[in-house]
Structure 1
Amino acid sequence: MRILLLGFTARALAEAAAAAGYDAVSLDYFGDYDLQRLIPAYSLRRDWGTGYSAENLWRASERLNWEAAVYASDLENHPPVVARLAGKGRLLGNGPGELAVRDRRRLQAALGRGGILFPRSTSRLPESGGDRWLVKPEKSGGGRGVAFWQPGQPVPPGAYWQRFIPGTPVSAAFVANGAECVVLGVTEQFSGGEEKGGFAYRGNVVPFLPPEKAERAALLAAVRRFAAFLTREFGLKGLNGMDLIYHEQRLYLLEVNPRYSASMELLARAYRPHLFRDHVDACLTGRLPRFYLEEYWEHPPFYGKRVVYARCRVRVPVRREAEWRRAGVRDIPRGGERIPPGSPVCTVLAAADSRGECLARLDGAEAWIRSQLEKETGRWEQQCQ
C-alpha cells in the first residue's frame, strides 16, 4: 500500500513513515533537500510552479499514484479536500465528520459539557474589563495571524477574539481509534521571537515537567481526561494534538489539531521511534499501543526543536546541504535559495540531560546556521552590487 503524505510541509511526517518502513510518497509546498532523500517527494513550488493551497495539493495529488493518504497541516481546515482524498483512496486519519473538532463553537459547546477549561472566545466586540484579548483566524495553523488585540483596532474578516490566558504554552499528543486513546507525550511549546514576533510556532522541548511529582501526575491525568473526552465526543482517529495553556496548576484547552503535528517528531525521538505505525494501526485495525508516559519521566533526557526564521532577506549557502543534514538540521532549503524576512529557513534539533542544556544547544545550533547565512548573504549582496 503506497501512502501519500501531504500538507504545507511533509518532511517530519515523511521521516516518521520512512522510519516505520512504509512505502510512501510526499507532496508539499517546499520539497526540501532532506525530504527528497527520505522518500519520493513532490513540491507544488518546484514541480508544479504554483503557490500553496489545499486545492492545489488536491489537484497535484490526482497526478500521483497512491492508495492511502495521511495529511499534515493545514488540511484539517479544509474538510471538502479531505473528503475528496477519502473518495479516491483510503484515508488514514480523521475524515470530514471528525473535523467538526475544528469548529470553534462546536468544540467549546462540547468542552462546556465535559467540564474542560477553555478561554472565552467571541465573535462580538468584547468589553475589556481588565482582560487582554487575542485576535485569531477561524482557520488557523502554526500560530499564523494570531496577535494581541488593541481596543479600537479593526478585526480582519474570518477572525474572532479569544481571552488571553497567561501561563506556559503546552502541546500534548495522543493516538486514538474513535473510542479510546493513549497519550504519547506532553511538550513545552515556544512561539514568536524577534525575527517573527507574534505567536508563530517556533518549536518544542519534551518533556514538559512541572517541578513537583504530584503536580506532574495531576497534569498527566488532566491531559488523559481531555484526550479521552475528545476521542469519544468527536470520534477522533490516529494521531492528534492539543494546544494547551498550563497556568497556576490549571490546564486550559486552546484548540485541537486532528492530525500529525509539529511536536510529534520529538516524541518519536524520545519514546516512540515507530510513531507512524501507531497511527496506521489505530486507523486500520483500532489497535492502540501499550504505553505509559509516566514511566519515562523519572530521569528523562530532553529533546528539542526550533524553527529558524530569516531576520532579513538571506541566501542559503551553496553546496552545504549535506553538511547541514549531517549536523542534524532538518527542513533544509536548496543552496542558493533566497528567503524573505520572517520566513522559515530550516529546523534545528538538540538533545541533552536537562531542559536548560537542551535550550542552550538549540541556541548554539541556531547561531551556527545564522553565521553561515550571514556569510553567504554578504557574499551574494557584494556580487549583486
Structure 2
Amino acid sequence: MKNILVIGFSTRNIVFSGSRAGYNMYAIDAFCDYDLQQCAKAFSKLDIGESFDASKISLNEVTELIEGFGVDFDAIIPGSGFETIGLERLPYWILGNDPRIMSEVSDKHLFSIFLKKRRIAHPETVLLHDIGMLEFPVMVKPACSGGGIFNMKVESPEDLLQLGNKLKEAGMPPGKSKIIAQEFVEGIPASVSVLSTKDRAVAIAVNEQLIGTTWLTGMPFAYCGNITPFENPYASEMKLIAENLILELGLVGSNGIDFIITESGPVVIEVNARFQGSLDSVEMATDINLLDSHLKAFEGIIDVPAEIESEKENGSANKYAGRCILYSDRKMVMTEAVRDMLLEMNVCDVPVTGQVIGPYEPIISVLCSGNDREEVICGMKDSVMFIRESLNLLES
C-alpha cells in the first residue's frame, strides 16, 4: 500500500494523517487549502459551485479528476458526503463503508427508526410535516447533512412560518429538501471515536464537542471542533453503546457516534460512518495514527495500544488536545499578509491567497495540546483572540 487518494469537500486532516504514516497522499478537495497543498503529493480542486451536495456531482466528473493524476492508486478513501456517489463501481479498493449501509445511517430519520426499534435513547424524530406530534421547542434540521449550520431551534408553531426563509438565509442548498423535526434535548454534546472490523469494535476516545461556541461563531449549532478526552461519569457507558452500535451496523474502519449527555444519561444523536472532525484531537491525545489504523481495520486488524483498549473509565488519552474552528463574522479575502501571519501559529485548514470567505464560513482551525482541559481551552482562546485582532489590524 503506497498511493492513496482522498475525495471529499475538506480532506486536509485525512491527508495529513496518511502523510505522517508514510503514505503518498493525493486529494480531490473543494477548498485545496494552503497546508493541504504543501502536504499532498498532488491535488485537484472539485468544482462544487454554491452547493455542498455531493449528489450533484457526477461519477464521470470524479473519474476524470482521478484519471488526471496519472497515478495507479492502491486505495481511495471517500470523505464526508462522497460515500454514496458510486465510487464502488470504479476499479479501485474503496476504503469506505457499504453505500447501502451509508444511505440508511446518514439519513437521520431512518436512523431514528433503527434506534427506536432497539430502545436506544434518542430524540423523538419525525418528518417536518408531522411536527405537530412533538412538543415545542423542537430542533429542525436536514435529514442528510452535517456540521450543524442548518440546524434551527423552533420555539413555537409561529416560528415555522419563517423557517423556509431562515434556511435560505443560512445558505442551505435547494436539493436538501428532506427536513426532520426532533425533540429538543438539553445537555453536553460529545462523541465516541471507534475503530472496527466486521467482528470487533474498540472505542479509542471520548470527545467533547464544541457546538455553537460563542467565541468561535455566531451560529448557535455550528460544529466548532473537539477536545479529547472528555472525562465524564458516562464515558464507559457511551463507549459500550458506540461499540455495539458500530458492530450491529456492520461499519468498518474509523467511525464515530455523536451523543448528548443529559442529566439522566447519554442520548445517541447520529452516526458518522467515516473519518470524523475529531481526527486531529484524537491523534494528538492518543498518539494513534487513524489513517493507518483505518487501513488495518479493513484488513481485519485492530492495532491500538493495549492501555487504550483496556481503559474503560475515561477518554483513553495520553494527554489533552483540541481543535477549534474559527468562523468569519463578515466577508473577507485571504491575503498573503494574513496567510503568512496565520502560518506562524499552530493552525491548519489555512485558506489560499485570494480565497473569498463569506460571513459564517470557516476561516481557519486552531490546534492546541496541554496537561488538562483548561490549559487546552485557554490556549485555543488566546490564539483565536490574537487571530481576530490581527485580522482587524491587517484589514484596517
| TM > 0.5 fold call | yes
**SS of residue matched to 1:88:** coil
2:98 to 81, 89, 95: 95
C-alpha contact 2:281 2:322 (8 A) present in aligned 1 = yes
Match for residue 272 of structure 2?
Answer: 257
280-289 or 11-20: which moved more?
A: 280-289
88-97 or 280-289: which moved more?
A: 280-289
163-172 or 192-201: which moved more?
A: 192-201
Match for residue 179 of structure 1?
Answer: 199
Match for residue 166 of structure 1?
Answer: 186
**SS of residue matched to 2:351:** coil
Report the CA distance between 1:287 and its aligned residue: 3.8
Match for residue 383 of structure 1?
Answer: none
C-alpha contact 2:106 2:271 (8 A) present in aligned 1 = yes
Report the CA distance between 1:50 and its aligned residue: 5.2
**SS of residue matched to 2:199:** coil
Match for residue 197 of structure 1?
Answer: 219
Report the CA distance between 1:300 and its aligned residue: 5.8
Q: TM-score scaled to structure 2, two decimals?
A: 0.84
Structure 1 pair 204/233, CA: closer, same or farther in 2 (3 Å)?
Answer: same
Residue by residue over 1:296-326, the C-alpha shift from the partner in whole angstroms, topping out at 9 and shown as x without a partner, is 7599632111111111122334145455334
Report the CA distance between 1:107 and its aligned residue: 2.3
Match for residue 119 of structure 1?
Answer: 123
Q: How many residues align?
A: 365
1:304 to 322, 334, 345: 322
C-alpha contact 2:140 2:152 (8 A) present in aligned 1 = yes
1:270 to 263, 271, 285: 285
Match for residue 314 of structure 1?
Answer: 332
Structure 1 pair 264/292, CA: closer, same or farther in 2 (3 Å)?
Answer: farther
**Match status 1:74 vs 2:81:** yes
Match for residue 366 of structure 1?
Answer: 384
C-alpha contact 1:7 1:28 (8 A) present in aligned 2 = yes
Percentage identity across aligned positions? 26
295-304 or 249-258: which moved more?
A: 295-304
- For structure 2, the 5+ residue unaligned runs are 165-176
| Letter aligned with residue 395 of structure 2 | T
C-alpha contact 2:53 2:81 (8 A) present in aligned 1 = no
Structure 1 pair 115/32, CA: closer, same or farther in 2 (3 Å)?
Answer: same
Report the CA distance between 1:136 and its aligned residue: 0.8
| Letter aligned with residue 202 of structure 2 | V
CA distance in 1, matches of 2:152, 2:67: 37
C-alpha contact 1:170 1:246 (8 A) present in aligned 2 = yes
| Letter aligned with residue 336 of structure 2 | V
C-alpha contact 1:135 1:148 (8 A) present in aligned 2 = yes
C-alpha contact 1:178 1:231 (8 A) present in aligned 2 = no
| Letter aligned with residue 63 of structure 1 | G
C-alpha contact 2:284 2:369 (8 A) present in aligned 1 = no
**Match status 1:132 vs 2:137:** yes
CA distance in 2, matches of 1:132, 1:365: 36
C-alpha contact 2:212 2:224 (8 A) present in aligned 1 = yes
| Letter aligned with residue 119 of structure 1 | P
Match for residue 237 of structure 1?
Answer: 252
**Match status 1:356 vs 2:363:** no
2:149 to 138, 144, 147: 144
Match for residue 11 of structure 1?
Answer: 12
Structure 1 pair 317/63, CA: closer, same or farther in 2 (3 Å)?
Answer: closer
**SS of residue matched to 2:120:** coil
Q: TM-score scaled to structure 1, two decimals?
A: 0.86
Aligned CA-pair RMSD: 2.5
CA distance in 2, matches of 1:25, 1:224: 33
- For structure 1, the 5+ residue unaligned runs are 379-385
CA distance in 1, matches of 2:119, 2:210: 27
C-alpha contact 1:246 1:252 (8 A) present in aligned 2 = yes
C-alpha contact 2:228 2:317 (8 A) present in aligned 1 = no
Report the CA distance between 1:200 and its aligned residue: 1.3
**SS of residue matched to 2:145:** coil
268-277 or 168-177: which moved more?
A: 268-277
Report the CA distance between 1:63 and its aligned residue: 3.1
Residue by residue over 1:347-379, the C-alpha shift from the partner in whole angstroms, topping out at 9 and shown as x without a partner, is 01112222222112111111111122112222x
Structure 1 pair 119/345, CA: closer, same or farther in 2 (3 Å)?
Answer: same
25-34 or 321-330: which moved more?
A: 321-330
Report the CA distance between 1:36 and its aligned residue: 1.1
**SS of residue matched to 1:90:** coil
| Letter aligned with residue 138 of structure 1 | A
Residue by residue over 1:209-229, the C-alpha shift from the partner in whole angstroms, topping out at 9 and shown as x without a partner, is 12xxxx2xxx23322332232
